[in-house]
Structure 1
Amino acid sequence: MPITAWTILVAAITALVTTTATGLIVTPRMEARKKRLGEVHSARDAFSTHMTTVVSACTRLLNMPALADDDAAWTPTMRERLGAERARWLQQIDDATRWMIDNVATYAGSWPMRGLIEFATAYAANARMVVLSEREEIAKLRHLVDLTLPVQRQFFGWPWARARHHFADRRAFAATLALLEREATGS
């Protein structure tokens, strides 16, 4: 009987020590890790959402060019409303690119490979610079679409599309960057 009691006591103490150690050491670390991973995934989701906002707003603006002041087909009220809508879409692009450049360290640093980090960082910086540039509106919109689509596919496209278009997307992005550089230097 004393051996059975001793075995039960040792088992109870072991369970108590294990539970206490897990509760004090392991659980807080796991909760902190869970929170960090949740923040990383939230930042990645926001990055995806902002890229989608840029592409969709640019597409809307490209499909609805600014109205001429002398166009008799539009009343002043409609011209004002459409102008306000275009201004709202331009503001969406401004807000999205501002968020991407302000939070680039959060989402870009979450990818494991240096090439992906640099790709996301280069995209955010160049997209923001296009928005801030003095280019004509239509040129800005086309450049933003050309910058965003390959990046969006590489980060958020279907896995087979990422692999299939990896080199083409990188070349398209590099070509757009080269074009932006040529325009900036005037050559």
Structure 2
Amino acid sequence: MNLLWTLLVATITALVTAVTVGLVATPRLDARKKRIGEAHAARDTFGTHLMTVLATCTLLEQTPVDNPDWTPTLRDRVKGERERWLQQLDDATRWMVDNVFTYAGSWPLQRHKDFAVAYAANARGVVLSERDEAVKRELLIALTTPVQRHFFAFWWTRARYYTADQRLFAETVACLAAEASQS
């Protein structure tokens, strides 16, 4: 009888514990897991868009606007490609601004959050500006390179360029702010 009573109490205890955990803890843990997964996915997408900005700027820089040796067909095709690349810059910076609080909010330090938000706002401002395309490219590269290295490079690269990247980013933002105040 004593053994039966012990088994019954153990079974009831296990059952109550399993039901309580299943009803209380598991839904909260699942919701947290989903939020963390979404934040990491947004970080990855942010990294992809940073690389898109850098690669697109490089493509625009390396591809001439016009060449006298080109046929009219080739000229139209290259013009179409350049317009597509400019649209990619627009799409990438729009996504970064629209989702900044998802990926920026996932970093634990406030300075990382501020860095990501400042980047997204300034990069979008450059793309929307009426600056010459070459100036936009230079500004986007100056803004994006330090941010990409800061968040996505190997730790030894981050450590090596940390001070220079912070300075370059701050100088570029200051230049943009000075231009905005003159307008």
TM-score, normalised relative to structure 2: 0.96
Q: 1:94-129 deviations in whole A, cap 9, x for unaligned? A: 000000011111111111111000000000000000
Q: Counterpart of 1:112 in 2: which secondary structure?
A: coil
**How do residues 10-25 of structure 1 correspond to structure 2 at under 5 angstroms?**
10-25=9-24
Q: Bigger CA drift: 140-149 or 174-183?
A: 174-183
Query: What 5-or-longer segments of structure 2 have no aligned partner?
Result: none
Q: 1:154 aligns with which of 142, 150, 153?
A: 150
Per the alignment, residue 100 of structure 2 pairs with 104
Task: Report deviation, 1:181.
Answer: 2.7
Q: Counterpart of 1:147 in 2: which secondary structure?
A: helix
Q: 1:14-68 deviations in whole A, cap 9, x for unaligned? A: 1101111111111111111110011001110110011110000000001113116
Per the alignment, residue 80 of structure 1 pairs with 76
Q: RMSD value over aligned CA atoms?
A: 1.3
Per the alignment, residue 27 of structure 1 pairs with 26
Task: Report deviation, 1:165.
Answer: 1.8
Per the alignment, residue 169 of structure 2 pairs with 173
State the alpha-carbon separation in 1 of the partners of residues 53 and 142 from structure 2.
11
State the alpha-carbon separation in 2 of the partners of residues 120 and 55 from structure 1.
16
Give 2:45's aligned amino acid: A
Q: Work out whether 1:124 is the aligned partner of 2:124.
A: no
Q: Counterpart of 1:34 in 2: which secondary structure?
A: helix
State the alpha-carbon separation in 1 of the partners of residues 174 and 24 from structure 2.
52
State the alpha-carbon separation in 1 of the partners of residues 176 and 7 from structure 2.
75
TM-score, normalised relative to structure 1: 0.94
- Flag as ranges the 4+ runs of structure 1 deviating above 6 A: none
Per the alignment, residue 179 of structure 2 pairs with 183
